[in-house]
Amino acid sequence: VADAGLMEQVSLSVTWALYAVGLVFVGIRRRFPPARYLAIGLFGVVVGKILLHDIAGLDRVYRMLSVLGVGVLLLVASYLYQRMAVERESAQ
């Protein structure tokens, strides 16, 4: 039962992180800054939740995979932001 609750919390964190990546994409595509700001805040909440709550109950392998997964999602979001900055510079 304890493992089921932990997996539920981890899957919730992954879902929030994927939603944040989607918000970054939509915010960039539609040029809507509030969506991007919400995504940054949501990423902060997800990273805090993972570091303070989820990792404590995971085994070593799952701990590494969860941190790696969140890191990859943060890299994707930062790539999208960088791409937006380059497009903005080329448009001016």
**Considering the chain, what percentage of its residues have pLDDT values greater than 90?**
11
Tell me how far CA of residue 40 lies from CA of 17, 18, 19, 49, 71, in angstroms: 10, 12, 11, 14, 14
Give pLDDT tens digits for 58-83.
Answer: 788 878 887 888 788 888 888 887 88
User: Would you give per-residue pLDDT tens digits along the chain (92 residues)?
Assistant: 557 877 788 788 889 988 988 998 888 888 888 998 999 899 899 888 888 887 887 788 878 887 888 788 888 888 887 887 777 777 76
